[in-house]
Amino acid sequence: MGIAKGLANLKLDKPQVNSGEGSKARWVKLEDGESVKIRFLQELDANSPTYNDKLDVGIFAVEHTNPKDYRKKLVCSFEDEDRCWGCEQHRKDYKAGWKARQRLYINVLVDDGKNDPYVAILSQGMSGKTITPTLIEYANEMGSISNLMWRMKRTGTKTDTSYTIIPLAKDDSGFDASGLELYKLEESAVRQLSYKDQEAFFTGQGGSEEVESTSQDVSW
């Protein structure tokens, strides 16, 4: 599973392997009750009529999170290496919280009404308390998610957090993203380590600060 690109390939695509060194990225972070306007700078699927190969697509990554430290996340390596430390922990104890979960990572332009619009990575799980189901449904129905503005809102805190999103006005003319620098999601949004390094990462001290996500408080 690892990372999938394109809706049709959600469970089929192979992840691209890299060193797993996450570079500093800006993330979409909302407080309880806060809402921002966002524009998706990437589509979910390369078949979208507004797909731009220079901008690529958002990714769906299958990850394990250390249940004792939500900041320690690794992309599941089972598909690539036939071995995965997180999967092993899950097999040992199905209730311990090591189950692999899928997350969406995508580049967006954020307009919070306070700062100049900035590029950030939006990270969302797949549950009904996230925007992902709405976004996939919209993409399937309308074909494009990048040709309009959206308003995203957070409600609640910690385990009681939910995110909602509504579509705003469609663009009159095509949005020009050529001046924007997007994050390379496989490098900045997720961390991939080979099996031999996974246990040390999950059980060791430190090294968990670089990759943070919207789900600061909890992984749903």
Structure tokens of 137?
A: 């449904």
Q: Does 138 bind Zn ion (CB under 5 A)?
A: no
How far is residue 133's CA from residue 111's CA, in Å, rounded to a whole number?
A: 22
Return the residues of window 145-204 that contact Zn ion according to CB under 5 A: none
- Nearest distance, CB of residue 191 and Zn ion, angstroms: 13
Candidates 82-90, 143-151, 165-173, 188-196; binding stretch for Zn ion (CB under 5 A): 82-90
| For Zn ion, the closer CB: 61 or 84 | 84
Do residues 145 and 135 lie in contact, with contact meaning Cβ atoms separated by under 8 Å?
yes
Which helix or strand (DSSP H or E) is residue 203 part of? helix 195-203
- Beta strand extents in 6-147 (DSSP E only): 35-40, 59-66, 69-75, 101-111, 118-124
76 forms part of the interface with Zn ion (CB under 5 A): yes
Window 84-123: residues binding Zn ion (CB under 5 A): 84, 86-87, 100
Size of the site for Zn ion (CB under 5 A): 6
Interface residues with Zn ion (CB under 5 A)?
76, 78, 84, 86-87, 100
